[in-house]
Amino acid sequence: DFMHAFENDIKPAFGVSKDEFDSYIANGIIIWGSPVTEVLDEGNLRISQTIKSEMTPLVSILIEGPPNSGKTALAAHIALLSKFPYLKFCTAQTMLGYTEMSKCQQLKKIFEDAHKSTLSCVVVDELESFLEYAPVGPRYSNTVLQTLKLLFKRSPPKGRKLLIIATSAYRDILEQLGLAQSFSKIIHISNISTGEHVLHVLSEIEHSFSVEEMKHLKKSLANKQVWIGIKTLLDLIEVARQADDKYRVARFLASLEEVGGTV
Amino acid sequence: DFMHAFENDIKPAFGVSKDEFDSYIANGIIIWGSPVTEVLDEGNLRISQTIKSEMTPLVSILIEGPPNSGKTALAAHIALLSKFPYLKFCTAQTMLGYTEMSKCQQLKKIFEDAHKSTLSCVVVDELESFLEYAPVGPRYSNTVLQTLKLLFKRSPPKGRKLLIIATSAYRDILEQLGLAQSFSKIIHISNISTGEHVLHVLSEIEHSFSVEEMKHLKKSLANKQVWIGIKTLLDLIEVARQADDKYRVARFLASLEEVGGTV
Amino acid sequence: DFMHAFENDIKPAFGVSKDEFDSYIANGIIIWGSPVTEVLDEGNLRISQTIKSEMTPLVSILIEGPPNSGKTALAAHIALLSKFPYLKFCTAQTMLGYTEMSKCQQLKKIFEDAHKSTLSCVVVDELESFLEYAPVGPRYSNTVLQTLKLLFKRSPPKGRKLLIIATSAYRDILEQLGLAQSFSKIIHISNISTGEHVLHVLSEIEHSFSVEEMKHLKKSLANKQVWIGIKTLLDLIEVARQADDKYRVARFLASLEEVGGTV
Amino acid sequence: DFMHAFENDIKPAFGVSKDEFDSYIANGIIIWGSPVTEVLDEGNLRISQTIKSEMTPLVSILIEGPPNSGKTALAAHIALLSKFPYLKFCTAQTMLGYTEMSKCQQLKKIFEDAHKSTLSCVVVDELESFLEYAPVGPRYSNTVLQTLKLLFKRSPPKGRKLLIIATSAYRDILEQLGLAQSFSKIIHISNISTGEHVLHVLSEIEHSFSVEEMKHLKKSLANKQVWIGIKTLLDLIEVARQADDKYRVARFLASLEEVGGTV
Amino acid sequence: DFMHAFENDIKPAFGVSKDEFDSYIANGIIIWGSPVTEVLDEGNLRISQTIKSEMTPLVSILIEGPPNSGKTALAAHIALLSKFPYLKFCTAQTMLGYTEMSKCQQLKKIFEDAHKSTLSCVVVDELESFLEYAPVGPRYSNTVLQTLKLLFKRSPPKGRKLLIIATSAYRDILEQLGLAQSFSKIIHISNISTGEHVLHVLSEIEHSFSVEEMKHLKKSLANKQVWIGIKTLLDLIEVARQADDKYRVARFLASLEEVGGTV
Amino acid sequence: DFMHAFENDIKPAFGVSKDEFDSYIANGIIIWGSPVTEVLDEGNLRISQTIKSEMTPLVSILIEGPPNSGKTALAAHIALLSKFPYLKFCTAQTMLGYTEMSKCQQLKKIFEDAHKSTLSCVVVDELESFLEYAPVGPRYSNTVLQTLKLLFKRSPPKGRKLLIIATSAYRDILEQLGLAQSFSKIIHISNISTGEHVLHVLSEIEHSFSVEEMKHLKKSLANKQVWIGIKTLLDLIEVARQADDKYRVARFLASLEEVGGTV
Ligand SMILES: Nc1ncnc2c1ncn2[C@@H]1O[C@H](COP(=O)(O)OP(=O)(O)OP(=O)(O)O)[C@@H](O)[C@H]1O
Ligand SMILES: Nc1ncnc2c1ncn2[C@@H]1O[C@H](COP(=O)(O)OP(=O)(O)OP(=O)(O)O)[C@@H](O)[C@H]1O
Ligand SMILES: Nc1ncnc2c1ncn2[C@@H]1O[C@H](COP(=O)(O)OP(=O)(O)OP(=O)(O)O)[C@@H](O)[C@H]1O
Ligand SMILES: Nc1ncnc2c1ncn2[C@@H]1O[C@H](COP(=O)(O)OP(=O)(O)OP(=O)(O)O)[C@@H](O)[C@H]1O
Ligand SMILES: Nc1ncnc2c1ncn2[C@@H]1O[C@H](COP(=O)(O)OP(=O)(O)OP(=O)(O)O)[C@@H](O)[C@H]1O
Ligand SMILES: Nc1ncnc2c1ncn2[C@@H]1O[C@H](COP(=O)(O)OP(=O)(O)OP(=O)(O)O)[C@@H](O)[C@H]1O
Ligand SMILES: [Mg+2]
Ligand SMILES: [Mg+2]
Ligand SMILES: [Mg+2]
Ligand SMILES: [Mg+2]
Ligand SMILES: [Mg+2]
Ligand SMILES: [Mg+2]
């Protein structure tokens, strides 16, 4: 049964699971503009803070931004940058079908394991999924909320350091729930907002458009405003790639306009 | 007991169950106008996208439209068009009496099985029934909602592809619940809206009206506006067919006006 | 205990239980006016539709009207008219004390049995009682609601036909709950509304009033408006019958005015 | 434990329990005015109705009025007047600590037993206590509500008759809950409202006031308006009786004014 | 575990537990003014009423007033004054951790035991704690509410008498919940409201202030208005007592002003 | 499982656990201004009150203030100052994953143990965490609330004394819930509000800024207003310390302005 499945699902939490982290960065990290650089700088600063600080053994950051803006990939990337001996990626996906209690127990276990390592980094992806937040009601698991609040403020034992990286697309809800306040720092990642950003991404994707096509796109996209997450942009490029050569550019620009506002 | 019945109800999920799919298209797919063509085109595009895409191994579409507009039949039809080795039709009908947990477990199982095949297509019919949505309250199963949200965003393992086709008559509610946002593409199917559409359907049904009657109907329906789902239209034709020869046309036009607005 | 009692209460569902149907028409069906004829005509039409239709193997109708208007008796009567080999009368009375789950299970069983017969007719009396609807809150069983929604739309297997007849005094609530939409046709039965209707009923009841008294009543009731359900009217006649001969007519007219508005 | 206690509490329900009925009329029925006579007349009428009626084998009445107005005593009194072979007094007091389910089961049992006797009378005292109604929320047991609704409308089997007498101080709430509508007749009992009513009660109580005192009281109370339940009035008389001879009348008039408004 | 602890906590309920009652009057009953006398008079009256009454074998009073006004001590004191053979003090403190059901069961047991004695007095302290009332929501235990309502109106068997003394700081809430109405009499105890009351209390406490200090206090407090519960006043005296001799009076007056309004 | 883990987590509660208390004052108590002195004075007063009082064996105080203002450290510090033989620090952190019932049971146990010692001090940190308070709804555990209310008012047995120190960042919510009223005294700790306070803290931290830098800071911060908790200030100092020498002062002032308002 479910509970049985649950027990068999638990894997040893110690040790780095680099493969798992890589799977969340399936299409790499493209430095499409300064918003990306700023997030990575802040991430690096917090990593060294965790290592060197004396008075603050617990550093916790929240990466928040619109859907598809690359939050999960950035969180996984920063965690890998830390090279801490204990790395753990927590996602509600692996706890599907667990009772609230089981989720809390597993989260508690992960943080207790993290406290056993000198330097640990725990990613908690999509807080809203852990909270089982639904806007109609609204409904959420207060049990999970209380557990996360306590775990995010639990200092590691003397001599140990812990970096927590959480992600969410619902900053306002976390603030209403009093969970946003638990973080030392909240980092915002914005959508891609200029034609230049888009061109930067296009230039980094192999085989996407021909030199000729790129010329056309540069003209069309220069000084234009868009509003699109990196994950959605990669999807649009992918769709355009399947189209016939002659429709490719037009289709891409059309769908960019449909999804991402006026180009 | 119920749980027992439940366990015995579970059938092996692998393999194509073409007969079951056919039962949802009992009266075929009549191409009564461009709205139908557009849905089928979009469906075909998404099928080839699923097959060829590199960066997006998961494609999910939602077919939404008014009650009786043919959503279920279209979803089943597109799934059959894909000819994917793993095809699965999920409906709340087969989970009647299951606990929320059992529903979630079964849905999880279906997606896990889909992830085992190189090319899979899963239809999830009538999302509102799975969610047990009732407008007074409103009430719904948050457990099922969270499960569907996670399953609709769960990428298949490396090298595997998955096409998800969901249907619903309540697009606005799915948006309020944050579930509409999980889909790559939302496809709208409208009701039949012109006399020409109706005549097209009539011409495809055997033995419905005589040549004489059709002449009369063509005059009456030309350039008229209606608003009726294909399933309801088929019902009206059926009722008219049982009537005496002389009342047939009048009765059909009268009931069309009663149900489908001003003809 | 209760669950035990429950299991022993379940009787074999197959076969016609004419006696049970008759008990719901204890005082017969008096054709007091055109509203009654219309309901019976519509009923007959739907019966032949069920028998002959090719494209619509499932026909479902809802008989709705004010309390005491004769809904239950009419539903039972139409079901008996069909002479279908499988007839079943479902009422919340026989499921008193069942859990929501047990109710759903039993309803499911009844429909599954109905699906096994070539021609079946299932009466579901007083939907509001099955739903355990209470206006303060409001409260209702969503489990039963979802079950009924699904069962009312579940097509019988190929070659089988099913006629569903439901009754309710709360049409508006069924519409709010999205249950009214499940029916192919909603049939309204009104209260008795004219003095002529009342006189018609009186003339059909044996030993109610003497020839002399009837003369008096005809004068008093001619061209008067009333608003009373057939069941309540039969009660008033019964009460008057117990009174002394001289007070009989006056008492009857007075109580008719008290209950049924201005005579 | 509780459930155990519950099982041992159940006593055989058949047979007349006159003593129990008497205990609810501890201070007799004083005919203090026409409101009392009217209630008793209506009660007698319904008794004979139950015995003689052919078309209405189920008669149900609700006695409603302010707190302490004597509802329980009147219901018990009317039940005893019927002299029916099966008499049963149901009160929430004997079901204290039962679960909702147990209450419903016991109520069901009582009505099933009543259905086994040719002529039965069941008193259901203080509906609000059975419903566990609390105005803050509001809260109530929908399970009990649904059970009572069904039981109050369940006809006895052919050839059997049943008279139901219920009491309540919250008519408006029963109407909101749709329970008031289940009764054939609602009977109102008012508070004592004139000085004459009070004097009538005083004249029937032994040893309450001396002839001298009564003279004084007659002067004071003549043509005065009060508003007091019979139970409260008996309490005030009792309190006055304990006081010193000289203060007795003054004290009684003062407390009557305090509780029952301007004398 | 808890339930186990529960069973072991139950002590024999019969017999007078004078020591327990005394513990609730730890600092005696100081007759600081007429409000105290009035409460005690009313209490005495009710005691004799209970003993002598014929028509009202059940007398129930509610002592209500602001927090710290001495409600619990007064209730315990009146109970001891009765010298009834069965005395019982019920407080939520001894039922901490019980389920709602266990609380109700224990309350029921206490009243059943009381019904076995010819003359019984039961104190139910702090009704709001039994009800688990919390203003946010609001929330309360309807199970306990219904149980108390029934127990407070349950007459002892023939020949037995019962006096119920309840206390509460939330009269308005008891009225909203329909519980205040269950009492024969509601007795209000006010806060200490004049300087004279305060001086009376000071004069009764040993070693609190010197003769000199009292002179000063008499001047300062004469004709002043305060608003303070007896329990809070005793606290302030206690705090002042710990202070240095020269600051004592000033500190006492200052804190009296801070807590009890303008002196 | 969880419950098992729970049982194994319970440690003997008797005896002083000085190490645990110290861990909550990891960075000492810096006397940065009069708000700190006032809290400590009040704490000392209450300690001696507890020791010497005759009439009030139970003293309970609530330390409340904004997040990060040092509440927990101050509560732990005052508890250590008392040097009472029984010291206990209660925090929701150690009860993570407990059921409401288990929490209440453990709290009850702690207070029962405290009642066994002549002089006891119990710290209950972050009442909102024990209450599982969430602002959306709002939601909270009424079971824990009722338990805390009762425990905070439960007098120790004769001859024993108890000092309760609770902390909270949500005074308004405790007042709404009726919990604030349970305390003898509420002590407010404010944020650091002037540049002088900040300079005081800086002067007490070793190696934070050079003499040169301090000169600069004194100029910048003199007569400035800030609004920052001591815990947040220590964090900012820590971050600045990691920066390059030349940016150190500027960075510190900038972040102080970002977090703590206009400097
Ligand atoms: N600069 C970048 N930042 C983030 N992701 C990037 C970047 N460049 C490329 N990517 C790719 O974009 C995708 C981002 O998807 P990701 O799941 O992280 O988005 P998300 O914001 O978490 O989405 P969701 O709102 O659904 O949680 C990944 O495949 C990642 O490899
Ligand atoms: N162009 C068409 N599109 C869809 N269905 C068609 C079409 N032409 C004929 N049909 C027939 O119409 C019926 C459509 O019924 P279907 O159950 O799919 O409607 P639906 O919109 O899912 O209804 P519901 O709102 O009740 O879920 C099927 O019997 C199908 O064979
Ligand atoms: N024309 C008629 N239509 C319906 N019932 C009739 C008619 N003539 C006589 N009757 C009798 O009237 C009674 C109708 O009662 P019935 O229980 O069907 O009413 P109802 O509308 O279902 O009441 P409720 O609102 O309580 O469910 C039956 O006894 C039936 O035999
Ligand atoms: N005419 C009367 N009608 C009713 N009760 C009477 C009458 N005369 C005397 N009594 C006595 O008055 C008392 C009425 O109490 P009863 O419990 O019936 O009141 P109630 O309205 O049911 O009170 P509650 O609102 O608490 O349920 C009984 O003791 C009864 O013997
Ligand atoms: N006249 C008096 N009335 C009541 N209590 C008095 C009086 N004189 C002295 N006391 C003492 O004052 C204290 C009153 O405390 P008590 O617990 O009864 O107050 P309370 O109103 O019940 O408080 P709470 O609102 O917390 O329940 C007791 O210690 C009692 O001995
Ligand atoms: N005067 C002071 N008062 C309190 N804490 C101080 C003081 N000086 C230095 N500190 C240090 O500041 C920190 C205060 O953190 P603490 O956890 O007590 O804050 P808090 O208000 O309880 O935070 P939270 O709102 O998260 O509960 C401790 O590390 C403590 O050693
Ligand atoms: Mg993500
Ligand atoms: Mg469909
Ligand atoms: Mg009916
Ligand atoms: Mg009564
Ligand atoms: Mg008290
Ligand atoms: Mg703290």
Question: What confidence tens digit (pLDDT) does each residue in B175-197 have?
Answer: 999 999 999 889 999 999 999 99
Which residue of chain F is at minimal alpha-carbon distance from E98?
F101
Mind listing the pLDDT tens digit for each residue in C79-96? Answer: 999 999 999 999 999 999
Query: Which atom of ligand 2 lies closest to the CA of B36?
Result: 1
D257, β-bridge pairs: none
- Cα D225 to Cα D68, D199, D202, distances in angstroms: 18, 12, 16
Q: Which chains touch F (3 or more CB pairs under 8 A)?
A: A, E
Rounded to the nearest angstrom, the distance between the alpha carbon of D233 and the centre of ligand 4 is: 10
Residues with beta carbon inside 6 Å of ligand 4?
A: D 25-30, 32, 36, 67-74, 126, 169, 230-231, 234
C-beta separation of C24 from C76 below 8 A: yes
Nearest ligand to the C-alpha atom of residue B124 = 8
Confidence label for B48 from pLDDT (cuts 50, 70 and 90): confident
Atom 15 (ligand 1): residue with closest C-alpha?
A70
Nearest ligand to the C-alpha atom of residue A38 = 1
- Amino acid A239: pLDDT: 82
Pocket test for ligand 3, best of C39, C208, C231 (most atoms within 8 A of CB): C231
CA-closest candidate to residue D238, choices E52, A20, E16, B16: E52
Confidence label for B9 from pLDDT (cuts 50, 70 and 90): very low
Helices E211-221 and E195-204: crossing angle in degrees, nearest 10, is: 160
Mind listing the pLDDT tens digit for each residue in E164-217? Answer: 999 999 999 999 999 998 998 899 999 999 999 999 999 999 878 899 999 999
Nearest by CB to E92, which of F142, F150, F176? F150
Pocket test for ligand 1, best of A38, A39, A230, A238 (most atoms within 8 A of CB): A230
Mean pLDDT for the stretch of residues C123-144:
97
Q: Is the minimum distance from the CB of C29 to ligand 3 under 6 angstroms?
A: yes
Atom 7 (ligand 6): residue with closest C-alpha?
F29
Rounded to the nearest angstrom, the distance between the alpha carbon of E173 and the centre of ligand 10 is: 23
Name the 3-class secondary structure at A131.
Answer: coil
Mind listing the pLDDT tens digit for each residue in B68-92? Answer: 999 999 999 999 999 999 999 999 9
Tokens 């007490």 — which residue? F204
Confidence label for A240 from pLDDT (cuts 50, 70 and 90): confident
Residue D108 CA neighbour count, 13 Å, CB half:
22
Do D and C touch (≥3 CB pairs < 8 Å)? Answer: yes
Least confident range from A62-66, C118-122, D15-19: namely: D15-19
> For residue A37, which amino acid is it?
T
Query: Which atom of ligand 3 lies closest to the CA of C67?
Result: 25
Q: What percent of chain E has pLDDT over 90?
A: 74
Q: String of b and e for A73-104 (b: at least 16 CB within 10 Å)?
A: bbbbbbbbebebebbbbbbbeebbbbbbbbbb
CA–CA separation, B73 vs B52, rounded Å? 26
Q: Cis peptide leading into F138, omega within 30 of 0? A: yes
C-beta separation of E70 from E189 below 8 A: yes
| Residue contact D177–C27, C-beta within 8 A | no
Nearest by CB to D56, which of C23, C134, C235? C235
Q: What pTM, to 2 d.p., does this model score?
A: 0.90
pLDDT > 60? residue B95: yes
**Taking CB atoms and an 8 Å cut-off, how many pairs form between chains C and D?**
59
Chain C: give the shortest CA distance to residue B129, in Å. Answer: 7
| Residue contact B238–C146, C-beta within 8 A | no
Query: Which atom of ligand 3 lies closest to the CA of C75?
Result: 18
- Amino acid B125: pLDDT: 98
Tokens 């009073």 — which residue? E61
| Residue contact D101–C96, C-beta within 8 A | no
User: Is the CB of C92 inside 8 Å of chain D's CB atoms?
Assistant: yes
- Amino acid B258: pLDDT: 85
Rounded to the nearest angstrom, the distance between the alpha carbon of C189 and the centre of ligand 3 is: 11
Which residues surround the ion ligand 11 when the cut-off is CB under 5 Å? E 71-72
CA–CA separation, C140 vs D143, rounded Å? 10
Do C and A touch (≥3 CB pairs < 8 Å)? Answer: no
Measured from the Cβ of residue E213, the count of other Cβ atoms closer than 10 Å reads: 16
**Positive/negative CA dihedral, A171, A176, A179, A182:** positive
Tokens 């020839």 — which residue? C211
| Residue contact E136–F177, C-beta within 8 A | yes
- Amino acid C258: pLDDT: 84
CA–CA separation, A50 vs B187, rounded Å? 48
Strands E58-64 and D161-168: unpaired
Pocket test for ligand 2, best of B231, B232, B237 (most atoms within 8 A of CB): B231
Confidence label for F16 from pLDDT (cuts 50, 70 and 90): low
Q: Which chains touch B (3 or more CB pairs under 8 A)?
A: A, C
Average pLDDT, chain F: 90
Helices C195-204 and C230-242: crossing angle in degrees, nearest 10, is: 60
Name the F residues in 12-31 with CB < 8 Å from any A CB: 23, 26-27
Mind listing the pLDDT tens digit for each residue in F67-96? Answer: 999 999 999 999 999 999 999 999 999 999
Nearest by CB to A134, which of B155, B177, B184? B177
Residue by residue, DSSP assigns chain D as -HHHHHHHH-----S--HHHHHHTTTT-----SHHHHHHHHHHHHHHHHHHH-SS--EEEEEEE-STTSSHHHHHHHHHHHHT-SEEEEE-GGGGTT--HHHHHHHHHHHHHHHTTSSEEEEEE--HHHHTT-BTTTTB--HHHHHHHHHHHH-PPPTT-EEEEEEEES-HHHHHHTT-GGG-SEEEE-PPEEEHHHHHHHHHHSTTSS-HHHHHHHHHHHTT-EEEE-HHHHHHHHHHHHHS-TTTHHHHHHHHHHHHH---
- Amino acid E45: pLDDT: 86
| Residue contact D181–C2, C-beta within 8 A | no
Which residue of chain D is at minimal alpha-carbon distance from C91?
D150
Which residues in chain D have Cβ-Cβ distances shorter than 8 Å to C67?
181
Query: Which atom of ligand 6 lies closest to the CA of F65?
Result: 21
Write phi, then psi, for E62 (nearest 5 degrees): -120, 120
CA–CA separation, F72 vs F251, rounded Å? 28
Atom 6 (ligand 6): residue with closest C-alpha?
F29
Q: Looking at this predicted complex, what is its ipTM?
A: 0.89
Nearest by CB to C52, which of B96, B235, B242? B242
Mean pLDDT for the stretch of residues D130-138:
96
pLDDT > 50? residue C13: no
Average pLDDT, chain B: 90
Mean pLDDT for the stretch of residues C175-202:
94
Confidence label for A262 from pLDDT (cuts 50, 70 and 90): low
Mean pLDDT for the stretch of residues D128-146:
96
Which residues in chain D have Cβ-Cβ distances shorter than 8 Å to E52?
242
Which of D239, D244, D258 would you mutate first to test chain E, the one with the most E CBs within 10 A?
D239
Helices F245-260 and F211-221: crossing angle in degrees, nearest 10, is: 30
Measured from the Cβ of residue C74, the count of other Cβ atoms closer than 10 Å reads: 24
CA-closest candidate to residue E182, choices E156, E164, E198: E164
Which residues surround the ion ligand 10 when the cut-off is CB under 5 Å? D 71-72
- Amino acid E16: pLDDT: 52
pLDDT > 70? residue D41: yes
Rounded to the nearest angstrom, the distance between the alpha carbon of E110 and the centre of ligand 5 is: 24
Which of F23, F101, F128, F136 would you mutate first to test chain A, the one with the most A CBs within 10 A?
F136
Residues with beta carbon inside 6 Å of ligand 2?
A: B 25-30, 32, 36, 67-74, 126, 169, 230-231, 234
Measured from the Cβ of residue E137, the count of other Cβ atoms closer than 10 Å reads: 15
Which residues make Cβ contacts (< 8 Å) with residue C22, sequence separation at least 6? C76, C80
What would the two tokens of residue C39 be?
A: 């309901």
Confidence label for D48 from pLDDT (cuts 50, 70 and 90): confident
Q: Is the minimum distance from the CB of C231 to ligand 3 under 6 angstroms?
A: yes
Residues with beta carbon inside 6 Å of ligand 1?
A: A 25-30, 32, 36, 67-74, 126, 169, 230-231, 234
